[in-house]
């Protein structure tokens, strides 16, 4: 059984601590109150108007699209690549860490948006051929929050495709897996002790970010299997349920797109987390690679790619990547939150092709503000050169 780590207390005190964390955040107390000036036209063709904030809840009551999980193909049967809404260029290898800062309008706008913010922000935006459009702290480690669930989904679906599990296998929802932390996003306490098919747990994980669903699926796999799955996707610095001793590359060195003081702050933040128990960590580049694999039908296999895409297209939590883009373009995404971390990873399907992306933030003192930042980063990733002012800065 995989033991589920429990967050014991807020880590916001790191922002006030002495040492590297404080140094990283010094000089970040002033925030820009102006919308960046328009920059040269982005590479994608997009609408030119500035979207307005939708009047919608953080979580919709039902999926935007009804998730469809199809049975795996019979052995020796080819599965057509149908994971993405549009045909896009194919990439046969993961996107690589940048060796120079991308010379794009998106890079400039994203940098201007996050550079004066409290906390550590990581952004990677790719073209469907793996070209890096934006890279900010691309290989800096971040706590995954619930975005680790995308690896769980791929791992379980791989086992289904291999025949060791079946979508209609029923698994009991135990009290241990439901947890004692309050209501779940999908299941209710009166359902504890009942059994549900693996297919339903997969939808609960991907569409509603259900912890009870994730914990139930974790009963069907191992830490080794999860980490092997991540590595097979190209997620080289993704480690689930890890201790610091599991990381041969620790501490990480600052890359060209990562201010040394922010990497030092990330190290301090995560070493505090490691001191409390196993931690799930990844990087924006790794998460973008996962989404690139969805786009190119190389997430384990075309069938696994298609199932993950179909589930995430129904995402019910729409307060980050989809927030301004709903009604403009199709998106799929998987958000994740802790009390001082705000993430969203997914794909924006533009007329000119799909853009995989990962937006991550840790050691943030204001979860709502980090959410607002990521909403606007998604607009930038979609090629918009203007975005609405941040709340309170109109």
**Burial letters for 194-231: b for 16+ Cβ neighbours within 10 Å, e otherwise?**
eebebbbbbbbbbbbbbbbbbbbbbebbebebbbebbe
183 neighbors 158 (Cβ within 8 angstroms) = no
Adjacent-strand bridge partners of 359:
123, 344
DSSP state of 216: H
Per-residue pLDDT of the chain (394 residues; tens, 9 = 90+): 676 554 322 332 232 232 333 323 222 322 232 333 333 333 333 444 556 665 544 566 566 777 889 999 875 554 554 444 443 445 556 789 999 999 999 999 999 999 999 999 999 999 999 999 999 999 999 999 999 999 999 999 999 999 999 999 999 999 999 987 678 999 999 999 999 999 999 999 999 999 999 999 999 999 999 999 999 999 999 999 999 999 999 999 999 999 999 999 999 999 999 999 999 999 999 999 999 999 999 999 999 999 999 999 999 999 999 999 999 999 999 999 999 999 999 999 999 999 999 999 999 999 999 999 999 999 999 999 999 999 988 7
What is the Cα–Cα distance from 25 to 108, expressed in whole angstroms? 21
Q: Which domains does the chain have, with CATH numbers?
A: 92-147+238-394 (3.40.710.10)
């Amino acid at each position: 059984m995989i033991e589920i780590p429990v967050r014991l207390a807020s880590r916001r005190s790191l922002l006030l601590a002495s040492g590297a964390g404080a140094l990283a955040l010094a000089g970040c107390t002033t925030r820009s109150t102006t919308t960046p000036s328009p920059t040269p036209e982005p590479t994608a063709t997009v609408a030119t108007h500035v979207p307005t904030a939708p009047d919608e809840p953080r979580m919709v009551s039902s999926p935007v699209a009804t998730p469809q999980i199809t049975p795996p193909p019979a052995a020796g049967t080819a599965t057509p690549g149908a994971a993405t809404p549009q045909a896009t260029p194919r990439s046969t290898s993961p996107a690589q860490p940048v060796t120079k800062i991308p010379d794009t309008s998106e890079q400039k706008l994203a940098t201007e948006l996050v550079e004066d913010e409290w906390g550590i922000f990581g952004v990677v935006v790719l073209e469907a051929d793996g070209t890096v459009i934006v890279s900010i702290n691309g290989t800096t480690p971040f706590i995954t929050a619930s975005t680790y669930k995308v690896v769980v989904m791929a791992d379980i679906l791989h086992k289904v495709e291999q025949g060791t599990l079946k979508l209609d296998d029923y698994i009991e929802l135990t009290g241990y897996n439901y947890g004692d932390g309050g209501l779940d996003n999908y299941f209710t306490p009166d359902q504890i002790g009942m059994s549900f098919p693996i297919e339903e747990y997969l939808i609960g994980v991907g569409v509603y970010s259900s912890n009870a669903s994730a914990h139930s699926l974790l009963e069907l796999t191992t830490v080794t299997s999860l980490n092997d799955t991540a590595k097979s996707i190209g997620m080289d610095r993704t480690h689930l349920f890890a201790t610091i001793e599991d990381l041969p590359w620790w501490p990480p060195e600052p890359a060209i797109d990562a201010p040394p003081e922010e990497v030092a702050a990330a190290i301090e933040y995560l070493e505090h987390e490691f001191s409390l128990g196993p931690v799930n960590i990844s990087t924006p580049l790794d998460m973008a690679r996962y989404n690139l694999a969805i786009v190119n039908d190389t997430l384990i296999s075309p069938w696994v790619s298609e199932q993950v895409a179909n589930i995430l297209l129904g995402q019910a939590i729409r307060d980050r990547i989809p927030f301004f883009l709903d009604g403009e373009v199709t998106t799929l995404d998987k958000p994740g939150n802790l009390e001082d971390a705000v993430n969203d990873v997914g794909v924006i399907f533009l007329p000119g092709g799909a853009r995989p992306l990962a937006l991550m933030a840790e050691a943030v003192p204001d979860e709502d503000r980090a959410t607002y930042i990521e909403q606007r980063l998604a607009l930038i990733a979609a090629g918009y050169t203007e975005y609405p002012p941040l709340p309170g800065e109109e």
